[in-house]
Structure 1
Amino acid sequence: MPLHHEARTLLDMMEAIGAPPLDSQPPAEARATRKALAADPTEQCHEIVEIDAGGVPARLYRAAPTGTTPGLLVYIHGGGWVIGDLDSHDNVCRSLTNRSGSTVLSVDYRLAPEHPFPAGLDDCRAATQWAYKHADELGIDPTRIAIGGDSAGANIAAVVCHETTVPLRFQLLVYPVVDVRMNTESYDENGEGYFLTKSSMQWFTEHYLSGGEGTPDDPRVSPLLASDEVLAAGPPALVITAGFDPLRDEGIAYADRLSSLGVVVSHVHFSGQIHAFYSLPDQLGDARLAHALSAQALIAALGS
């Protein structure tokens, strides 16, 4: 399938803006570049509250009250472990809570290179455990907790599934980074010209691993390399991939491996889309569809 015309238009607009490549900038400048391109949210939620999730900053999104105790999605934003924050994925969290009825906890984990691996992972694991232990305070059902994220956030979400003692019911993995060895065909096919580049992924990974505590072969960095036993113990999953994404093949491989080990997996492939499309529901019809699919999967896993 060719590149979707909406994605082509978006790429042309980005080229016209002329923002420098992320990997040509120091991390602080790259974060500022990303912030400057962010659009204001277009949806309202019943309630949005800044909270301290056991020492980790976070933002809680509540859907309109229904008279029942909702489930919780712990959401971990993407950005290559280097950029992104609560605001960069505010529109995604608003959309998911409104469409699923679940409460969403967005985690403001520490970023590399100032805080390299495993700092961000530690924060997200701690926030998830805190939410489980403080379910009454949050007004959520501790037996109905899911975790999810996009890109590097999905990487962390997958690893938390492997390591946490929280009884997670579901994992939402949107074009996940699961193998940072970067040796797939989709890196060769899509490594230039489709927003996320191979050189940017190398830049992200180098910053993330700059503390010397992890390697590309570490399953905590590349969760596709986890053992069969670890992967088989994970919760049901929805894996979303994009055809013009360097991460396409590893996401497909992760979904296939989970399925082969008996994990209940739905894999939805947007063959005409680029990396980061999920974050752009106001611009891309496929993003709105992906949000609707995500919400329905959360309803099925957690209840509305």
Structure 2
Amino acid sequence: MSLPSDVTIDAAKFHPSNIDAGTEKILQIMQSMTEGAPKWYDVGAAKYREMISSGKTQFPAPPVDPNAQDSIIPSRDHNRHIPIRFYKPDNGKTSKGVYTFFHGGGFAFSSHLEQDMMLKRFANDYQLTTVSVGYRLAPEDPWPAGVHDCIDVAEYLVDHQDMFGAPLRALGGESAGGNFAALATFQLMRSRPKHRLDAILLINGMYDLTFNLPSTVAEVPSGVIDHKMLEKFIEVYLPDMSMEKRRNPLISPLYDDMPKLVRESPFHSLPPALFVVGTADQLADDSLLMSLKWMASGSEAIISLYPGAPHMFGAFAGFKAADDAAAATATFLKEKLGKVEA
């Protein structure tokens, strides 16, 4: 009998023969949409944000739901407030908790105002008040402005359950927002150790901002992002910062001491986390390594891999990979947060 490995992974997830036709179609669509399209770093981040909101990029303008509401939360900075957008369940029943989401956009673009469909779906599927955070963006506000905003919102929602009449139960983030969700999770464990989060949802996140992992530097068709774009994000978010300084755990959560966080926690573990990523995503190695370290701390982590799927594949509802990822997310959150009562 051969010696068993203490860590196993389904290698078939990475084999090209297991990439379904729908996933290949997603990549083709992304490549055709992005080919010749303006790059955010050529037109400037501020201009590109305007183009996104008005539907002048390769993607349509994000839909707006009239039932989403806006509010503000105090910042640590004097005379500042952080904008948020939230959605309450349409059935009018009391929320079972608060789910706070940090949007993607490479620390430089996208907005909390562009997440209405996700907020509505999560609010109604899990009987939660869902919150999207309008954190500050680079280059106008480089690190640590954005992460400070995300942490300030998370800490405020822990301390002020009266705001929504329910406790903060879950954090989530996509791409750059995954970085912020991980950093906010670790900060809450330090600053609010008696508060237990029930679930962390991390979608194709950035956890090592050296951007020097093999998948990150690989020159492969990726649809939405490539290594040059990642480096441009770093130029505006971490200007003139050395590779060594980018390993700061307050920048790159992959380098945090997770076992120490567990030892010092009254709950003796990190919150349960679901990592979702496609194997063709240039950030795939981030999720592989981050989920492994999460597990190695003695905490629950599930990594859900999608053969051949690129960055942002979850936006393509109706294709198998996107629908499977949505189903995995639903299974995880319903287990951790409880099913919605009829």
Scaled by the length of structure 1, the TM-score of the pair is: 0.88
**1-side partners of 2:216 and 2:90: how far apart?**
42
**2-side partners of 1:73 and 1:211: how far apart?**
35
What's the CA shift string for 1:136-184, capped at 9, x where partnerless?
A: 23132x2x51111001001011011111224322211001100111222
Kept in 2: contact 1:48–1:60 (CA 8 A): yes
SS at match of 1:136: helix
Deviation at 1:297, TM superposition (A): 1.8
What's the CA shift string for 1:24-43, capped at 9, x where partnerless?
A: 33211332343324435679
Deviation at 1:293, TM superposition (A): 2.3
Deviation at 1:44, TM superposition (A): 6.2
Kept in 1: contact 2:169–2:198 (CA 8 A): yes
Go from structure 1 to structure 2 and tell me whether the alpha carbon gap of 1:44 and 1:30 turns closer, same or farther (over 3 Å shift): closer
Gaps of 5+ in 1: none
Kept in 1: contact 2:142–2:238 (CA 8 A): yes
Go from structure 1 to structure 2 and tell me whether the alpha carbon gap of 1:295 and 1:29 turns closer, same or farther (over 3 Å shift): same
SS at match of 2:211: coil
Q: Which has the larger radius of gyration?
A: 2
Match of 1:288 among 308, 323, 331: 323
**2-side partners of 1:43 and 1:282: how far apart?**
18
**1-side partners of 2:122 and 2:83: how far apart?**
20
SS at match of 1:235: coil
Match of 1:14 among 9, 33, 41: 33
**2-side partners of 1:211 and 1:117: how far apart?**
12
Deviation at 1:282, TM superposition (A): 4.1
Scaled by the length of structure 2, the TM-score of the pair is: 0.79
**2:324 counterpart letter in structure 1:** L
SS at match of 2:202: strand
**1:52 counterpart letter in structure 2:** I
Deviation at 1:195, TM superposition (A): 1.5
Cα RMSD between the aligned structures?
2.6
What's the CA shift string for 1:216-253, capped at 9, x where partnerless?
A: 11111111011133554421100011111110011111
Deviation at 1:133, TM superposition (A): 2.5
Larger RCO, structures 1/2 (Cα 8 Å, 6+ apart): 1
Go from structure 1 to structure 2 and tell me whether the alpha carbon gap of 1:113 and 1:41 turns closer, same or farther (over 3 Å shift): closer
Deviation at 1:193, TM superposition (A): 4.3
Q: Does 1:155 align with 2:179?
A: yes
Kept in 2: contact 1:242–1:275 (CA 8 A): yes
SS at match of 1:286: helix
Kept in 2: contact 1:231–1:258 (CA 8 A): no
Deviation at 1:257, TM superposition (A): 1.1
**2:216 counterpart letter in structure 1:** Y
Name the residue aligned to 1:31.
49
Go from structure 1 to structure 2 and tell me whether the alpha carbon gap of 1:128 and 1:167 turns closer, same or farther (over 3 Å shift): same
Name the residue aligned to 2:141.
115
Gaps of 5+ in 2: 1-15, 75-80, 263-268
Go from structure 1 to structure 2 and tell me whether the alpha carbon gap of 1:182 and 1:137 turns closer, same or farther (over 3 Å shift): closer
